[in-house]
Structures are given as C-alpha cells and as structure tokens.
Structure 1
Amino acid sequence: MTLNSIGLDSKITKELAQDLNGLLANFQTYYQNLRGIHWNIKGKAFFNLHIKFEELYTDANMKVDEIAERILTLGETPLHTFADYSELAKVPVGKNISEDTKAVQLIVDSLSELLQIERAILQKAGDANDEGTNSMMSDFIAEQEKTVWMMKAWLNETV
C-alpha cells in the first residue's frame, strides 16, 4: 500500500476523489436549480421562498467549494466544466420552474439524490480511515436531512 502525503492509501483516495467529483457535479446542478427557482418563483409565497432559495444556493455554493478543496486535499483535480457536470449529475434538472410546490419538490428530490451519494462516500471514507471526508459528509448529511424535513413540512408531507 502506498500512502499519500496525508497518510491515506493513494489508491483509495483516488477512488474517493472520483466519488467526490461525482458529488461536485451533482452539487453544481443542485446549485443551478436553486438559482433558477430563486429567479423564477412567483405567487403568494414569493417573498418567503425567494429568501429561502437564496439562503440555500449560498450554502450550496460554499459546499461546492468545500468539495473541490477536499478533492485537491486528496491529491486529485476537481471537475470544473459544465460538460463534466452534465455527464455525471443524477440530480434532476429543473427548468423554468416558477410554481412554489414544484420548486420545493425539486429541492426535496435533489437533496434525496445528494444524500444517497453522500452516504456512499461516507461509507467508503469510513472504510479508508479518511476522517476529513467522513466529517464533511456527516455534516452535509445532518444539515440536508433537516432541510428535507423542513421542505416536506412546507409541502404538508411527512418524511
């Protein structure tokens, strides 16, 4: 086994970085969805949702940076083209969504996909003793689970 400069198995960190690049692609799609619904939301819930969507896209933008920096920390290169993101993203793409329920449902669907990806990375990072990636995924998961709960409550649905 060859260790990298942070003491992790080089082969496994390369795989983790690939998984994180997949997460990065999905987060970029999620971020762009949030920008779109922020710009296009209409109706009686406009003021509240417009502010909430801005809060969410600001947070997503910070997470994109954290993911890219973790990939660099693992010794790999983060993806940075829309072509790469489109190829890897599993998060649904929302286009021209202006209705409040559809916008909130897009967030729930997107976060549900992100949570699946993050849990898989969490498992792999735990097995690799990669506490940095593990900690980041744990934090993302806890926060996103709460957001799903809140969005489902807004939709008057249970988790």
Structure 2
Amino acid sequence: MNSTLNFIGLEKDKSEKLNHSLNDLLADYQIFYQNLRGFHWNIKGENFFELHEKFEELYKDVREKIDEIAERILTLDGQPVHTLSDYTNMSEIREARNIEHGREAVEITLNGFQIILSKQRNIMNIAQDAEDEGTITLLSDYIANQEKTAWMLKSWLR
C-alpha cells in the first residue's frame, strides 16, 4: 500500500485537513444539540406544544448526526474531539442560556443552521479535492434536509 494513502485509499494529508474541519463541525453540532435540548426543556408560552415537540425532533436528528460525523472522522483515520472544553472553544455556535421565548429560540436555531450549512458546504469542497465520496454523500444528505428545515423555521418567524 502507498504510504501517502490511508487505509481507505485517500491521501493522508487531505484526510487530516478533512478531519480538522469535521472536528470543527462536530463541535458546532455538540453546542447546537445542547441548545436544542435546552429549548425543548425550557420553552414556555402560547407555542409551547408545537415548539416543545419540534425541538425534540431536531435534537434527536442532531444527536444522530453527531455520531455519524465522529464515525466519519474515525473512518478517515482521525480522532473526534470529545471534551466539553474542546466543543466550547472550537464552536462558532455559542451556548444559549435560559431561553424560554419561542421566537428567540427559533431565531437562535435558525442561526445555528446557517453556521452549520456554511461549514458543511466548505467541507464538501475539501472532500471533493480529496476525492472523498463518503464525506460528500454524508454532508449532501444533511444539507438537503437542513435547508428545508431552515426554510420552515424562517417561515414560522414571519
């Protein structure tokens, strides 16, 4: 086997670059997940039932993606970051504390999706350069679903 390739046949240096970007994305997803859990638990007001259910749906979806991203990093011969301090230091998404109002929670969620979508598109470009179809497919599926969710959240705000 070529020493410049990892065990799945991708260039090691390009896989390392991907792993760095995927770990950054993983950190964003972890903070996003915690925010969604907090919204689910703490939401109050006239839209309680609707938003309580929606935030649960969203955090369950994000929890799956967290695991898939970590496993992709491992597949690329990397190590997923896994400490809370790494997540808070690396994440562009900031922790949302004590949010009770639906509109504010939806705005923060929409902002989180915007950050994640942008990073995923950037990672897809890196993955294309690395000829990494696995990462491209994974993120392409995420993007299609998240764009629709972002549109729905934006529509809810109007």
Structure 1: any 5+ residue segments left out of the alignment? none
Alignment of 1:40-119 (within 5 A): 40-119=42-121
* In 1: Cα distance, 2:96 partner to 2:88 partner: 13
TM-score, normalised relative to structure 2: 0.97
Q: Which amino acid counterpart does residue 154 of structure 1 have in structure 2?
A: W
Deviation at residue 91 of structure 1 after TM alignment? 1.1
CA deviations on 1:90-113 (whole Å, 9 max, x unpaired) are 013211110010010011000000
Q: Across the two proteins, how many residue pairs are aligned to each other?
A: 156
- Please, which of 129, 137, 140 is the counterpart of residue 127 of structure 1? 129
- Please, which of 5, 8, 15 is the counterpart of residue 6 of structure 1? 8
Aligned equivalent of 1:147: 149
- Please, which of 29, 36, 47 is the counterpart of residue 38 of structure 2? 36
CA deviations on 1:93-137 (whole Å, 9 max, x unpaired) are 211110010010011000000011101101110111100001111
8 Å contact kept, 1:71–1:77: yes
Alignment of 1:9-28 (within 5 A): 9-28=11-30
* Percent of matched pairs sharing the same residue: 51
8 Å contact kept, 1:92–1:106: no
TM-score, normalised relative to structure 1: 0.96
Q: Which amino acid counterpart does residue 52 of structure 1 have in structure 2?
A: K
Structure 2: any 5+ residue segments left out of the alignment? none
Moved >2 Å (runs of 4+): none
* In 1: Cα distance, 2:82 partner to 2:129 partner: 28
SS in 1 for 2:82: coil
Deviation at residue 61 of structure 1 after TM alignment? 0.3
Q: Which amino acid counterpart does residue 74 of structure 2 have in structure 1?
A: L
* In 2: Cα distance, 1:79 partner to 1:58 partner: 20
8 Å contact kept, 2:88–2:94: no
- Root mean square deviation of aligned Cα: 0.8
